[in-house]
A = this chain, B = another copy of it.
Amino acid sequence: MYKPNLNNVRVVLSHTTHPGNIGAAARAMKTMGLKHLCLINPSRFPDPQATAMATGADDILQNAVLCSTIDEALQGVVLTVGMTARMRDISNEVASPWDAMPKVLQEATMHSVALLFGTEMSGLTNEEASRAQLLVNIPANPEFSSLNLASAVQVIAYELAAAAQVFQPTAKALQPATHEQVEGLMEHLEKTLYEIGFFTTQNPERMMQRLRRLYARARLEPDEINILRGILSLTTEYNGRLKARYQQEYDV
């Protein structure tokens, strides 16, 4: 019924330093049938080095989308897979490529998916990682785990193409929310938590990361987001009334 659709998969490279890596990544993508490249604030692009390293994948560079923020790059995406070279302090779920890629294919039958790669030196920032519903680690030599960026793209694209060869879509009722819908909820939640004074006793950044993780695991549906935002709206409405009442009492 639903076939894996690699056209629904975009590769997002964040703050890439070396233009040669962008070209090599484009070539790696194309060898495995991936087309859509999205670049968040690359140091230099377009660049002759990128073109030289693409060798035949120029079309991918020409169609690459330049973005200035991660949220722009993830527009319309329902599943973001972030690549990480290390296990993070906050214990996120970290999957192997072979466990993760069938999930990517499953979502890509109907929805947009992003494969998110951080900058060469330090990988994804915590903010970027927090946008991912799934973190993937390419298992590597513990004494020398630094894959070149384009090599990491090649391995992930290869694993995706390999998984596509044996892919069997599962029936699925879940209608996942888009990146914007989730971000809308997160913003609403953070604002609400400030408003009700929750952050006076908690580290806001750390707490928001924990909440993000919780909701990432849940893979929210749009209806559920509406429900949660309804609750948040009422929370502040109540809070507003309470404030007004205190004000009244104080006035009296």
Contacts and interface: CB of A to CB of B under 8 A. Distances in A.
Interface of A: 24, 27-28, 30-33, 55-57, 96-98, 138-141, 144-148, 150-151, 154-155, 158, 161-162, 165
Contacts of A32: 140-141
Nearest to A147: B31
A28 to B, nearest CB: 6
Given A24-B148, A154-B154, A31 B140 contact: yes
B144 A162 contact: no
Contacts of A98: 162
B148 A27 contact: yes
A28 B56 CA distance: 22
Contact of A31 (B28, B55, B144): B144
Q: How many copies does the complex hold?
A: 2
A76 to B, nearest CB: 24
A28 B141 contact: no
Given A30-B144, A31-B141, A32-B140, 13 more contacts: A28-B151, A31-B140, A31-B145, A31-B147, A32-B141, A33-B140, A97-B162, A138-B158, A139-B165, A147-B154, A148-B154, A154-B154, A155-B155
Contacts of A57: 144
9 contacts: A27-B151, A31-B145, A32-B140, A55-B146, A56-B144, A98-B162, A151-B154, A154-B155, A155-B155
Contacts of A150: 151
* Residue of A27, A57, A146, A155 most packed against chain B (CB within 10 A): A155
B28 A146 contact: no
A130 B33 CA distance: 30
